[in-house]
Amino acid sequence: ATANIGVVGLAVMGSNLARNLASREGNTVAVFNRHYDKTETLIGEHPEAGFVPASDYEAFAASLSKPRTAIIMVKAGAGTDAVITSLTEVFEPGDIIVDGGNALFTDTIRREKAVRETGINFVGAGISGGEEGALNGPSIMPGGSDESWVTLGPILRSIAAIAEGEPCVTHVGHDGAGHFVKMVHNGIEYADMQLIGEAYDLIRRGTDKSPAEIADVFADWNTGELESYLIEITAEVLRQVDADTRKPLVDVILDQAGAKGTGAWTVQTALDLGIPVSGIAEAVFARSLSSKPAQRAAASDLPGPSEAWTVDDPDAFISDVRDALYASKIIAYSQGFDEIVAGAAQYGWDIKKGDIAAIWRGGCIIRARFLNRITEAYADDADLTLLAAAPYFAEALGRTQEAWRRVVATAAQAGIPSPAFSSSLAYYDGLRADRLPAALIQAQRDFFGAHTYKRVDKEGTFHTLWSGDRSEIESVDTH
Protein backbone atom coordinates (compact mmCIF):
# COMPACT_ATOMS: atom_id res chain seq x y z
CA ALA A 1 0.00 0.00 0.00
CA THR A 2 1.75 3.10 -1.22
CA ALA A 3 -1.02 5.60 -2.02
CA ASN A 4 -2.87 7.75 0.53
CA ILE A 5 -5.70 8.67 -1.83
CA GLY A 6 -7.31 7.09 -4.88
CA VAL A 7 -9.42 8.32 -7.78
CA VAL A 8 -11.94 6.14 -9.63
CA GLY A 9 -13.12 7.43 -13.00
CA LEU A 10 -10.50 9.02 -15.22
CA ALA A 11 -12.54 11.04 -17.68
CA VAL A 12 -11.83 14.77 -17.74
CA MET A 13 -12.90 15.55 -14.16
CA GLY A 14 -11.29 12.53 -12.52
CA SER A 15 -8.01 12.89 -14.44
CA ASN A 16 -7.72 16.53 -13.52
CA LEU A 17 -8.60 15.92 -9.89
CA ALA A 18 -6.04 13.10 -9.74
CA ARG A 19 -3.37 15.41 -11.18
CA ASN A 20 -4.34 18.13 -8.70
CA LEU A 21 -4.03 15.64 -5.82
CA ALA A 22 -0.70 14.33 -7.10
CA SER A 23 0.72 17.84 -7.35
CA ARG A 24 0.27 18.44 -3.60
CA GLU A 25 3.07 17.70 -1.15
CA GLY A 26 2.68 14.36 0.60
CA ASN A 27 0.10 12.78 -1.71
CA THR A 28 0.55 9.57 -3.65
CA VAL A 29 -2.46 8.91 -5.86
CA ALA A 30 -3.85 5.53 -6.91
CA VAL A 31 -5.90 5.65 -10.11
CA PHE A 32 -8.52 3.33 -11.55
CA ASN A 33 -10.88 3.44 -14.49
CA ARG A 34 -13.39 0.82 -15.67
CA HIS A 35 -11.70 0.64 -19.07
CA TYR A 36 -7.96 0.47 -18.54
CA ASP A 37 -7.07 2.45 -21.68
CA LYS A 38 -7.95 5.74 -19.94
CA THR A 39 -5.66 4.78 -17.04
CA GLU A 40 -2.82 4.05 -19.44
CA THR A 41 -3.32 7.33 -21.24
CA LEU A 42 -3.26 9.29 -17.99
CA ILE A 43 -0.12 7.66 -16.58
CA GLY A 44 1.56 7.91 -20.00
CA GLU A 45 0.83 11.63 -20.34
CA HIS A 46 1.70 12.49 -16.74
CA PRO A 47 4.70 10.52 -15.53
CA GLU A 48 5.54 13.43 -13.21
CA ALA A 49 2.43 12.68 -11.15
CA GLY A 50 3.79 9.33 -9.92
CA PHE A 51 0.35 7.70 -10.19
CA VAL A 52 -0.13 4.17 -8.87
CA PRO A 53 -2.30 2.52 -11.55
CA ALA A 54 -4.61 -0.38 -10.84
CA SER A 55 -6.37 -2.57 -13.39
CA ASP A 56 -8.96 -4.05 -11.02
CA TYR A 57 -10.66 -3.09 -7.78
CA GLU A 58 -8.63 -5.57 -5.68
CA ALA A 59 -5.35 -4.07 -6.85
CA PHE A 60 -6.76 -0.58 -6.32
CA ALA A 61 -7.72 -1.38 -2.71
CA ALA A 62 -4.35 -3.05 -2.09
CA SER A 63 -2.52 0.06 -3.31
CA LEU A 64 -4.20 2.31 -0.71
CA SER A 65 -2.99 2.82 2.86
CA LYS A 66 -5.61 2.69 5.64
CA PRO A 67 -8.02 4.18 6.18
CA ARG A 68 -8.41 3.77 2.42
CA THR A 69 -9.80 6.91 0.82
CA ALA A 70 -11.11 7.00 -2.75
CA ILE A 71 -12.84 9.73 -4.71
CA ILE A 72 -15.29 8.57 -7.37
CA MET A 73 -15.57 10.81 -10.44
CA VAL A 74 -17.81 8.83 -12.79
CA LYS A 75 -20.99 9.47 -14.68
CA ALA A 76 -23.64 10.30 -12.07
CA GLY A 77 -26.43 7.77 -11.56
CA ALA A 78 -26.03 4.07 -12.35
CA GLY A 79 -22.27 4.44 -12.86
CA THR A 80 -21.85 5.79 -9.35
CA ASP A 81 -23.91 2.94 -7.86
CA ALA A 82 -21.87 0.35 -9.76
CA VAL A 83 -18.57 1.77 -8.52
CA ILE A 84 -19.80 2.05 -4.93
CA THR A 85 -20.86 -1.60 -4.98
CA SER A 86 -17.46 -2.68 -6.29
CA LEU A 87 -15.56 -0.56 -3.78
CA THR A 88 -17.56 -1.78 -0.78
CA GLU A 89 -16.59 -5.32 -1.78
CA VAL A 90 -12.86 -4.57 -1.48
CA PHE A 91 -12.83 -1.85 1.22
CA GLU A 92 -13.03 -2.40 5.00
CA PRO A 93 -14.82 -0.70 7.89
CA GLY A 94 -13.34 2.74 8.56
CA ASP A 95 -12.40 3.28 4.90
CA ILE A 96 -13.87 6.26 3.05
CA ILE A 97 -15.66 6.39 -0.28
CA VAL A 98 -16.18 9.89 -1.65
CA ASP A 99 -18.57 10.57 -4.53
CA GLY A 100 -17.34 13.74 -6.22
CA GLY A 101 -19.84 13.53 -9.09
CA ASN A 102 -22.98 15.57 -9.49
CA ALA A 103 -25.28 13.23 -7.58
CA LEU A 104 -28.81 14.12 -6.59
CA PHE A 105 -28.68 14.67 -2.83
CA THR A 106 -31.46 12.18 -2.14
CA ASP A 107 -29.37 9.50 -3.91
CA THR A 108 -26.48 10.51 -1.64
CA ILE A 109 -28.66 10.15 1.46
CA ARG A 110 -29.70 6.70 0.25
CA ARG A 111 -26.14 5.63 -0.59
CA GLU A 112 -24.73 6.96 2.68
CA LYS A 113 -27.26 4.93 4.64
CA ALA A 114 -26.55 1.75 2.69
CA VAL A 115 -22.75 2.08 2.79
CA ARG A 116 -22.76 2.96 6.50
CA GLU A 117 -24.22 -0.49 7.24
CA THR A 118 -20.92 -1.99 6.06
CA GLY A 119 -18.92 0.21 8.45
CA ILE A 120 -17.42 2.07 5.51
CA ASN A 121 -17.84 5.86 5.42
CA PHE A 122 -19.58 7.40 2.44
CA VAL A 123 -19.16 11.07 1.65
CA GLY A 124 -21.07 12.88 -1.08
CA ALA A 125 -18.96 15.87 -2.09
CA GLY A 126 -20.11 18.53 -4.52
CA ILE A 127 -17.18 19.69 -6.64
CA SER A 128 -17.56 22.88 -8.62
CA GLY A 129 -15.37 24.60 -11.13
CA GLY A 130 -15.47 22.31 -14.15
CA GLU A 131 -12.31 20.75 -15.51
CA GLU A 132 -10.17 23.80 -14.86
CA GLY A 133 -11.26 23.87 -11.22
CA ALA A 134 -10.64 20.15 -10.79
CA LEU A 135 -7.06 20.65 -11.99
CA ASN A 136 -6.13 23.89 -10.29
CA GLY A 137 -8.43 24.05 -7.31
CA PRO A 138 -12.18 23.58 -7.14
CA SER A 139 -14.71 24.68 -4.57
CA ILE A 140 -15.61 21.53 -2.64
CA MET A 141 -18.81 20.89 -0.71
CA PRO A 142 -18.47 17.63 1.22
CA GLY A 143 -21.16 16.02 3.33
CA GLY A 144 -20.72 12.77 5.26
CA SER A 145 -19.76 11.85 8.80
CA ASP A 146 -17.55 13.78 11.20
CA GLU A 147 -15.26 10.72 11.38
CA SER A 148 -14.56 10.77 7.65
CA TRP A 149 -13.94 14.51 7.73
CA VAL A 150 -10.95 13.95 10.04
CA THR A 151 -9.11 12.06 7.28
CA LEU A 152 -10.67 13.81 4.33
CA GLY A 153 -10.48 17.40 5.57
CA PRO A 154 -6.70 17.87 5.15
CA ILE A 155 -6.71 16.15 1.74
CA LEU A 156 -9.56 18.27 0.38
CA ARG A 157 -8.10 21.44 1.89
CA SER A 158 -4.86 20.73 0.06
CA ILE A 159 -6.51 20.63 -3.39
CA ALA A 160 -9.26 23.23 -3.02
CA ALA A 161 -9.15 26.70 -4.52
CA ILE A 162 -7.81 29.40 -2.22
CA ALA A 163 -9.84 32.57 -1.72
CA GLU A 164 -8.33 35.32 0.38
CA GLY A 165 -5.98 32.81 2.00
CA GLU A 166 -8.69 30.27 2.89
CA PRO A 167 -9.25 26.93 1.14
CA CYS A 168 -12.68 26.77 -0.49
CA VAL A 169 -13.92 23.69 1.33
CA THR A 170 -15.88 23.14 4.52
CA HIS A 171 -17.68 20.17 6.04
CA VAL A 172 -21.16 21.23 4.94
CA GLY A 173 -23.18 18.76 7.04
CA HIS A 174 -24.00 15.07 7.22
CA ASP A 175 -25.01 12.64 4.45
CA GLY A 176 -26.47 14.54 1.46
CA ALA A 177 -25.78 18.09 2.72
CA GLY A 178 -22.81 18.63 0.41
CA HIS A 179 -24.62 17.56 -2.73
CA PHE A 180 -27.66 19.59 -1.67
CA VAL A 181 -25.59 22.74 -1.38
CA LYS A 182 -23.82 21.98 -4.67
CA MET A 183 -27.25 21.61 -6.31
CA VAL A 184 -28.37 25.02 -5.03
CA HIS A 185 -25.03 26.46 -6.14
CA ASN A 186 -25.80 25.24 -9.66
CA GLY A 187 -29.31 26.70 -9.45
CA ILE A 188 -27.88 30.08 -8.51
CA GLU A 189 -25.45 29.70 -11.40
CA TYR A 190 -28.40 29.27 -13.79
CA ALA A 191 -29.99 32.46 -12.40
CA ASP A 192 -26.73 34.40 -12.58
CA MET A 193 -26.20 33.38 -16.21
CA GLN A 194 -29.77 34.19 -17.22
CA LEU A 195 -29.57 37.62 -15.58
CA ILE A 196 -26.37 38.37 -17.44
CA GLY A 197 -28.04 37.16 -20.64
CA GLU A 198 -30.98 39.49 -20.11
CA ALA A 199 -28.68 42.42 -19.38
CA TYR A 200 -26.74 41.75 -22.58
CA ASP A 201 -29.92 41.39 -24.64
CA LEU A 202 -31.38 44.68 -23.40
CA ILE A 203 -28.18 46.59 -24.11
CA ARG A 204 -27.77 44.94 -27.49
CA ARG A 205 -31.32 45.76 -28.56
CA GLY A 206 -31.60 49.13 -26.85
CA THR A 207 -28.34 50.69 -27.98
CA ASP A 208 -26.27 50.52 -31.15
CA LYS A 209 -23.39 48.86 -29.33
CA SER A 210 -21.69 45.87 -30.93
CA PRO A 211 -20.91 42.74 -28.90
CA ALA A 212 -17.30 43.90 -28.61
CA GLU A 213 -18.47 47.26 -27.23
CA ILE A 214 -20.81 45.49 -24.81
CA ALA A 215 -17.79 43.43 -23.76
CA ASP A 216 -16.25 46.71 -22.60
CA VAL A 217 -19.39 47.43 -20.56
CA PHE A 218 -19.11 44.05 -18.82
CA ALA A 219 -15.37 44.51 -18.29
CA ASP A 220 -16.17 47.85 -16.65
CA TRP A 221 -18.86 46.26 -14.46
CA ASN A 222 -16.27 43.69 -13.44
CA THR A 223 -14.29 46.39 -11.65
CA GLY A 224 -17.16 47.12 -9.25
CA GLU A 225 -19.60 45.31 -6.99
CA LEU A 226 -20.63 42.95 -9.82
CA GLU A 227 -17.07 41.63 -10.08
CA SER A 228 -17.34 37.90 -10.72
CA TYR A 229 -16.10 35.07 -12.88
CA LEU A 230 -19.31 34.99 -14.94
CA ILE A 231 -19.16 38.73 -15.73
CA GLU A 232 -15.48 38.36 -16.61
CA ILE A 233 -16.02 35.46 -19.03
CA THR A 234 -19.05 37.20 -20.54
CA ALA A 235 -16.74 40.05 -21.62
CA GLU A 236 -14.35 37.52 -23.14
CA VAL A 237 -17.13 35.67 -24.95
CA LEU A 238 -18.56 38.90 -26.39
CA ARG A 239 -15.12 39.86 -27.74
CA GLN A 240 -14.68 36.55 -29.51
CA VAL A 241 -14.87 36.71 -33.32
CA ASP A 242 -15.79 33.66 -35.40
CA ALA A 243 -12.83 32.63 -37.57
CA ASP A 244 -15.00 31.56 -40.54
CA THR A 245 -17.48 34.37 -40.81
CA ARG A 246 -15.61 37.18 -38.99
CA LYS A 247 -18.86 37.82 -37.15
CA PRO A 248 -19.09 38.03 -33.37
CA LEU A 249 -19.12 34.42 -32.18
CA VAL A 250 -22.22 35.08 -30.08
CA ASP A 251 -24.10 35.86 -33.33
CA VAL A 252 -23.32 32.53 -34.97
CA ILE A 253 -24.09 30.30 -31.97
CA LEU A 254 -27.54 28.67 -32.10
CA ASP A 255 -29.68 30.37 -29.44
CA GLN A 256 -30.90 27.18 -27.74
CA ALA A 257 -29.48 26.66 -24.26
CA GLY A 258 -28.77 23.18 -22.97
CA ALA A 259 -28.90 21.95 -19.39
CA LYS A 260 -27.68 18.91 -17.51
CA GLY A 261 -30.44 18.93 -14.90
CA THR A 262 -29.04 20.40 -11.70
CA GLY A 263 -31.02 23.63 -12.18
CA ALA A 264 -34.21 21.61 -12.59
CA TRP A 265 -33.34 19.63 -9.44
CA THR A 266 -32.95 22.89 -7.52
CA VAL A 267 -36.40 24.03 -8.61
CA GLN A 268 -38.06 20.64 -8.06
CA THR A 269 -36.60 20.46 -4.56
CA ALA A 270 -37.66 24.04 -3.84
CA LEU A 271 -41.22 23.18 -4.89
CA ASP A 272 -41.18 20.23 -2.49
CA LEU A 273 -39.86 22.44 0.30
CA GLY A 274 -42.34 25.23 -0.52
CA ILE A 275 -39.59 27.78 -1.13
CA PRO A 276 -40.06 30.36 -3.91
CA VAL A 277 -36.89 30.34 -6.00
CA SER A 278 -38.51 32.23 -8.84
CA GLY A 279 -35.27 33.66 -10.26
CA ILE A 280 -33.74 30.21 -10.56
CA ALA A 281 -36.98 28.74 -11.90
CA GLU A 282 -37.26 31.41 -14.60
CA ALA A 283 -33.66 30.75 -15.58
CA VAL A 284 -34.37 27.03 -15.99
CA PHE A 285 -37.59 27.76 -17.92
CA ALA A 286 -35.84 30.31 -20.13
CA ARG A 287 -33.41 27.62 -21.25
CA SER A 288 -36.35 25.27 -21.92
CA LEU A 289 -38.17 27.95 -23.91
CA SER A 290 -35.07 28.67 -25.97
CA SER A 291 -34.86 25.00 -26.91
CA LYS A 292 -38.35 24.80 -28.43
CA PRO A 293 -37.71 25.85 -32.05
CA ALA A 294 -41.08 24.63 -33.32
CA GLN A 295 -43.02 26.62 -30.72
CA ARG A 296 -40.80 29.65 -31.28
CA ALA A 297 -41.48 29.43 -35.02
CA ALA A 298 -45.22 29.07 -34.36
CA ALA A 299 -45.13 32.23 -32.21
CA SER A 300 -42.89 34.30 -34.44
CA ASP A 301 -45.79 36.11 -36.11
CA LEU A 302 -47.64 36.92 -32.89
CA PRO A 303 -47.89 40.68 -32.47
CA GLY A 304 -45.42 42.71 -30.43
CA PRO A 305 -45.39 46.37 -29.41
CA SER A 306 -46.69 48.66 -32.15
CA GLU A 307 -44.14 51.39 -31.55
CA ALA A 308 -40.45 51.04 -32.20
CA TRP A 309 -38.30 51.23 -29.11
CA THR A 310 -35.59 53.82 -28.75
CA VAL A 311 -33.32 54.59 -25.84
CA ASP A 312 -32.69 58.33 -25.48
CA ASP A 313 -29.68 58.11 -23.21
CA PRO A 314 -27.69 54.89 -23.73
CA ASP A 315 -25.31 55.54 -20.84
CA ALA A 316 -28.17 56.08 -18.40
CA PHE A 317 -29.91 52.98 -19.74
CA ILE A 318 -26.78 50.85 -19.32
CA SER A 319 -26.43 52.13 -15.78
CA ASP A 320 -30.05 51.15 -15.09
CA VAL A 321 -29.46 47.68 -16.53
CA ARG A 322 -26.44 47.28 -14.30
CA ASP A 323 -28.55 48.17 -11.25
CA ALA A 324 -31.32 45.78 -12.34
CA LEU A 325 -28.75 43.03 -12.71
CA TYR A 326 -27.32 43.66 -9.26
CA ALA A 327 -30.72 43.82 -7.58
CA SER A 328 -31.93 40.66 -9.31
CA LYS A 329 -28.70 38.90 -8.39
CA ILE A 330 -29.25 39.73 -4.72
CA ILE A 331 -32.72 38.20 -4.98
CA ALA A 332 -31.40 35.04 -6.68
CA TYR A 333 -28.88 34.47 -3.89
CA SER A 334 -31.40 35.32 -1.20
CA GLN A 335 -33.77 32.73 -2.68
CA GLY A 336 -30.97 30.17 -2.97
CA PHE A 337 -30.01 30.63 0.68
CA ASP A 338 -33.69 30.29 1.64
CA GLU A 339 -33.62 26.89 -0.03
CA ILE A 340 -30.46 25.92 1.85
CA VAL A 341 -32.04 26.97 5.16
CA ALA A 342 -35.22 25.00 4.37
CA GLY A 343 -33.26 21.94 3.23
CA ALA A 344 -31.13 22.02 6.38
CA ALA A 345 -34.29 22.14 8.51
CA GLN A 346 -35.96 19.36 6.54
CA TYR A 347 -32.99 16.97 6.55
CA GLY A 348 -31.46 17.89 9.92
CA TRP A 349 -28.23 19.47 8.69
CA ASP A 350 -26.35 22.12 10.62
CA ILE A 351 -25.27 24.24 7.67
CA LYS A 352 -23.24 27.39 8.34
CA LYS A 353 -24.53 29.75 5.65
CA GLY A 354 -21.64 32.17 5.98
CA ASP A 355 -19.14 29.36 5.42
CA ILE A 356 -21.00 28.31 2.27
CA ALA A 357 -20.74 31.80 0.79
CA ALA A 358 -17.04 31.82 1.78
CA ILE A 359 -16.22 28.55 -0.03
CA TRP A 360 -17.98 29.81 -3.17
CA ARG A 361 -15.52 32.71 -3.42
CA GLY A 362 -12.93 30.62 -5.25
CA GLY A 363 -12.81 27.74 -7.70
CA CYS A 364 -16.47 27.68 -8.62
CA ILE A 365 -18.46 29.22 -11.46
CA ILE A 366 -20.38 31.68 -9.25
CA ARG A 367 -17.27 33.04 -7.54
CA ALA A 368 -17.77 36.73 -6.94
CA ARG A 369 -16.70 39.61 -4.77
CA PHE A 370 -20.31 39.93 -3.57
CA LEU A 371 -20.05 36.59 -1.66
CA ASN A 372 -17.99 38.34 1.04
CA ARG A 373 -21.05 40.46 1.76
CA ILE A 374 -23.12 37.29 2.26
CA THR A 375 -20.54 35.85 4.66
CA GLU A 376 -20.59 39.13 6.58
CA ALA A 377 -24.38 39.17 6.73
CA TYR A 378 -24.44 35.69 8.29
CA ALA A 379 -21.54 36.61 10.60
CA ASP A 380 -23.69 39.46 11.94
CA ASP A 381 -26.72 37.19 12.30
CA ALA A 382 -26.33 33.44 11.76
CA ASP A 383 -30.13 33.00 11.77
CA LEU A 384 -30.92 35.77 9.33
CA THR A 385 -34.56 35.48 8.25
CA LEU A 386 -34.05 37.03 4.83
CA LEU A 387 -30.67 37.60 3.21
CA ALA A 388 -32.05 40.36 0.97
CA ALA A 389 -33.11 42.32 4.08
CA ALA A 390 -29.63 42.23 5.70
CA PRO A 391 -28.32 45.82 6.00
CA TYR A 392 -25.82 45.74 3.13
CA PHE A 393 -28.30 44.19 0.70
CA ALA A 394 -31.20 46.32 1.89
CA GLU A 395 -29.07 49.38 1.13
CA ALA A 396 -28.12 48.02 -2.30
CA LEU A 397 -31.76 47.22 -3.15
CA GLY A 398 -32.81 50.67 -1.97
CA ARG A 399 -30.18 52.23 -4.21
CA THR A 400 -31.03 50.14 -7.29
CA GLN A 401 -34.76 49.47 -7.13
CA GLU A 402 -35.91 52.52 -9.10
CA ALA A 403 -33.60 51.63 -11.97
CA TRP A 404 -34.70 47.98 -11.73
CA ARG A 405 -38.33 49.07 -12.15
CA ARG A 406 -37.45 51.26 -15.14
CA VAL A 407 -35.65 48.36 -16.81
CA VAL A 408 -38.48 45.86 -16.23
CA ALA A 409 -41.08 48.39 -17.43
CA THR A 410 -38.99 49.27 -20.47
CA ALA A 411 -38.41 45.62 -21.33
CA ALA A 412 -42.14 44.90 -21.11
CA GLN A 413 -43.00 47.88 -23.30
CA ALA A 414 -40.31 47.07 -25.82
CA GLY A 415 -41.35 43.41 -26.00
CA ILE A 416 -37.99 42.12 -24.80
CA PRO A 417 -38.21 39.08 -22.56
CA SER A 418 -36.70 39.64 -19.12
CA PRO A 419 -38.14 36.75 -17.11
CA ALA A 420 -35.48 36.72 -14.40
CA PHE A 421 -35.33 40.50 -13.98
CA SER A 422 -39.10 40.82 -13.80
CA SER A 423 -39.85 37.77 -11.65
CA SER A 424 -37.18 38.85 -9.17
CA LEU A 425 -38.80 42.28 -8.96
CA ALA A 426 -42.25 40.72 -8.49
CA TYR A 427 -40.82 38.56 -5.69
CA TYR A 428 -39.25 41.62 -4.06
CA ASP A 429 -42.52 43.55 -4.22
CA GLY A 430 -44.45 40.50 -3.04
CA LEU A 431 -42.33 40.23 0.08
CA ARG A 432 -42.54 43.98 0.69
CA ALA A 433 -46.32 44.21 0.35
CA ASP A 434 -48.41 45.11 3.39
CA ARG A 435 -51.32 43.07 2.11
CA LEU A 436 -51.29 40.38 -0.56
CA PRO A 437 -54.21 39.08 -2.62
CA ALA A 438 -53.62 35.81 -0.75
CA ALA A 439 -56.62 36.96 1.33
CA LEU A 440 -58.81 36.71 -1.77
CA ILE A 441 -57.33 33.32 -2.64
CA GLN A 442 -58.17 32.05 0.84
CA ALA A 443 -61.74 33.27 0.35
CA GLN A 444 -61.94 31.51 -3.02
CA ARG A 445 -60.61 28.32 -1.49
CA ASP A 446 -63.19 28.60 1.26
CA PHE A 447 -65.93 29.22 -1.31
CA PHE A 448 -65.36 26.17 -3.50
CA GLY A 449 -63.71 23.79 -1.07
CA ALA A 450 -64.61 24.92 2.45
CA HIS A 451 -60.88 25.18 3.11
CA THR A 452 -61.50 27.79 5.85
CA TYR A 453 -59.55 30.97 6.58
CA LYS A 454 -58.06 32.87 9.49
CA ARG A 455 -58.95 36.48 10.31
CA VAL A 456 -56.73 39.46 10.98
CA ASP A 457 -58.79 40.55 13.99
CA LYS A 458 -59.33 37.39 16.05
CA GLU A 459 -57.94 33.92 16.72
CA GLY A 460 -59.54 30.84 15.26
CA THR A 461 -60.43 29.26 11.93
CA PHE A 462 -63.52 30.35 10.04
CA HIS A 463 -65.77 29.31 7.20
CA THR A 464 -68.46 31.30 5.42
CA LEU A 465 -71.60 29.34 4.51
CA TRP A 466 -71.28 30.35 0.86
CA SER A 467 -74.09 28.14 -0.42
CA GLY A 468 -76.28 28.90 2.59
CA ASP A 469 -77.10 32.24 4.16
CA ARG A 470 -73.45 33.41 3.88
CA SER A 471 -73.05 33.82 7.59
CA GLU A 472 -69.68 32.97 9.10
CA ILE A 473 -69.12 30.07 11.43
CA GLU A 474 -66.09 29.21 13.49
CA SER A 475 -64.66 25.99 12.21
CA VAL A 476 -62.74 23.27 13.99
CA ASP A 477 -62.19 21.53 10.70
CA THR A 478 -58.85 22.35 9.07
CA HIS A 479 -58.69 20.72 5.69
Active site residue 225: no
Region of residue 70 (left: phi > 0; alpha: psi -120 to 50; beta: else): beta
Q: How far is the CB of 433 from ligand NDP (least distance, A)?
A: 39
Give the contacts of 479 (CB within 8 A, at least 6 positions apart): 449, 450, 451, 452
Residue 27 labelled as part of a binding site: no
Kindly name the residue from 182, 329, 339, 353 that is annotated as catalytic: 182
- Cβ neighbourhood burial of 443 (10 Å; 0-12, 13-18, 19+): middle
Report the distance separating Cα 40 and Cα 248, nearest Å.
40
* 11 binds ligand NDP, rule: CB under 6 A: yes
Residue 187 to residues 80, 261, 332, Cα–Cα distance (Å): 22, 10, 9
Torsion angle of C-alpha atoms 132, 138, 143, 146, degrees rounded to 10? 140
Q: How far is the CB of 26 from ligand NDP (least distance, A)?
A: 25
Of 168 and 407, which has the nearer Cβ to ligand NDP?
A: 168
Question: Which 123-152 residues touch ligand NDP, going by CB under 6 A?
Answer: 127, 130-131
* 458 binds ligand NDP, rule: CB under 6 A: no
Give the contacts of 110 (CB within 8 A, at least 6 positions apart): none
Of 133 and 173, which has the nearer Cβ to ligand NDP?
A: 133
Residue 38 labelled as part of a binding site: no
228 DSSP β-pair partners: 368
Q: Minimal CB distance to ligand NDP: which residue?
A: 101
Question: Which 34-93 residues touch ligand NDP, going by CB under 6 A?
Answer: 34-35, 38, 73-76, 78-79, 82-83
Of 10 and 384, which has the nearer Cβ to ligand NDP?
A: 10
Report the largest interatomic distance among the alpha carbons of the chain, rounded to a whole angstrom: 87
Residue 36 labelled as part of a binding site: no
Of 10 and 160, which has the nearer Cβ to ligand NDP?
A: 10
* 426 binds ligand NDP, rule: CB under 6 A: no
* 284 binds ligand NDP, rule: CB under 6 A: no
Question: Which 97-116 residues touch ligand NDP, going by CB under 6 A?
Answer: 101-102
* 374 binds ligand NDP, rule: CB under 6 A: no
Report the distance separating Cα 60 and Cα 54, nearest Å.
5
Count of CB atoms situated within 10 Å of the CB of 110: 15
Residue 190 labelled as part of a binding site: yes
Give the contacts of 274 (CB within 8 A, at least 6 positions apart): 342
3-state secondary structure of 155: helix
Active site residue 147: no
Kindly name the residue from 112, 189, 282, 339 that is annotated as catalytic: 189
Residue 171 labelled as part of a binding site: no
Q: How far is the CB of 82 from ligand NDP (least distance, A)?
A: 4
Residues that bind ligand NDP (CB under 6 A): 9-14, 33-35, 38, 73-76, 78-79, 82-83, 101-102, 127, 130-131
